Structure 1
């Protein structure tokens, strides 16, 4: 567990779900449905983290590790609390947990028009890669 300001970073617990869903909505992110999240948490629940303060859940990061690469799937911080180090604290704790799993590399996706997001990730040492994203709904 680590702290940033008055927030503590800890592992997600199911009673957090409604507050996390509300935070994702407030941050303009799609809410991960309970069933999809439950399936994800069977693999690596220690990689789903929340930042919690006296006011409740103020940030959240969802990561996963497939045994070869770590992925940061979703980072969100309460819009009223941005630029205070919460995102950095969440990512730092997630990276520490990836290291504990001997994860050699972490990847993430950022939409090309998300200039603030690209700037944030570059400041943390994440560099754009020339990969082409392909996707297929099942």
Structure 2
């Protein structure tokens, strides 16, 4: 890898503001600090950032419940897209999930996100006809 490729590493609290900036510029909802704190008590090694110049350029959150892995919140700074950063983040997350014994990884793609669906399909993720059901258990803090 050349010097322009970021280092994929575990999220640190000092990254939070930069990660928020990536989520915002990528048009993603920001995960509040309290939710990040909760996430970090479970599997902090599955919350990854792409760190380089000029700082954090990408982020992905993963989790593993002992049966299935999940990928959430993949985002790359729009000015750094098409440089392989998202692919690097996913590859490292998959490596870490595999090391934990994870047999299958799931993720959600919004129906109108055609570019996102093409990206995931290039990485071998295939659409399933499952129906997503969701229920908030607490009032929204946002």
- TM-score for the superposition, normalised by structure 2: 0.93
- Report the CA distance shift for 1:15/1:3 in structure 2 as closer, same or farther (over 3 A): farther
Cα deviation, residue 54, structure 1: 2.0
Secondary structure, aligned partner of 1:111? coil
- Please show how residues 8-87 of structure 1 align to structure 2 within 5 Å: 8-87=7-86
Deviations 1:48-105, CA, capped at 9 Å, x for gaps? 0000112000000000000100000110000001011000000000000000000000
- Number of residue equivalences: 137
- Work out whether residues 22 and 56 of structure 2, in 8 Å CA contact, stay in contact via their aligned partners in 1: yes
2:140 alignment counterpart: none
- Alpha-carbon RMSD across the aligned residues, in angstroms, is 1.4
Cα deviation, residue 4, structure 1: 8.5
2:89 paired with 1:90: yes
**Alpha-carbon separation, structure 2, partners of 1:96 and 1:3:** 21
Displaced runs of 4+ in structure 1, greater than 6 A?
none
Cα deviation, residue 6, structure 1: 2.4
**Alpha-carbon separation, structure 2, partners of 1:48 and 1:131:** 26
Cα deviation, residue 137, structure 1: 0.7
**Alpha-carbon separation, structure 2, partners of 1:98 and 1:130:** 24
Secondary structure, aligned partner of 2:9? strand
- Report the CA distance shift for 1:30/1:44 in structure 2 as closer, same or farther (over 3 A): same
Query: Larger deviation: 4-13 or 113-122?
Result: 4-13
- Work out whether residues 8 and 53 of structure 1, in 8 Å CA contact, stay in contact via their aligned partners in 2: yes
**Alpha-carbon separation, structure 2, partners of 1:101 and 1:5:** 30
1:7 alignment counterpart: 6
- Work out whether residues 63 and 71 of structure 1, in 8 Å CA contact, stay in contact via their aligned partners in 2: yes
Give 5+ residue unaligned stretches, structure 1: none
